[in-house]
């Protein structure tokens, strides 16, 4: 069975950094797209970043471009999200997700498999 475990969240001041990890198991890692969503209280779920393992393509929502970097360590079946220059508006619960079908468009990505979220809180 597909399992995803997100970790690395915490409390940080604006301008600080965090690195989230998504440890995957139960599927062929190289054949999946894996990425991150986030949800803040009272707001819609937002697609944050995505990496497609077969061609190493990556995508980011506009608000995090230049600040966040997604990467993967295939030997460890783990995807990372390095978050730099964090802002209070980045405060949200971040969820790791995966799907074997590459989306036509990043904004249409609807992964089938989800892990538990990890909370990121950025103070001013």
Across 51-55, average pLDDT: 89
Q: What was the pLDDT predicted at 25? A: 93
Residue 29 scores a pLDDT above 90:
no
Residue 13 scores a pLDDT above 90:
yes
Stretch (H or E) spanning 99:
strand 92-99
Tell me what percent of the chain is helix, strand and coil, each rounded to the nearest 5: 10, 50, 40
């Amino acid at each position: 069975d597909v399992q995803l475990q997100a970790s690395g969240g915490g409390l940080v001041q604006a301008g600080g950094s965090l690195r989230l990890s998504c440890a995957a198991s139960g599927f062929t890692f190289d054949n999946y797209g894996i990425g991150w969503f986030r949800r803040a209280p009272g707001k819609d779920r937002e697609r944050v970043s995505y990496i497609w393992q077969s061609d190493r393509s990556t995508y980011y929502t506009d608000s995090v471009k230049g600040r966040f970097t997604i990467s993967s360590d295939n030997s460890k079946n783990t995807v990372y999200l390095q978050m730099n220059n964090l802002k209070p508006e980045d405060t949200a619960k971040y969820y790791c997700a995966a799907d074997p079908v590459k989306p036509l468009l990043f904004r249409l990505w609807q992964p089938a498999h989800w892990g538990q979220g990890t909370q990121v809180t950025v103070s001013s």
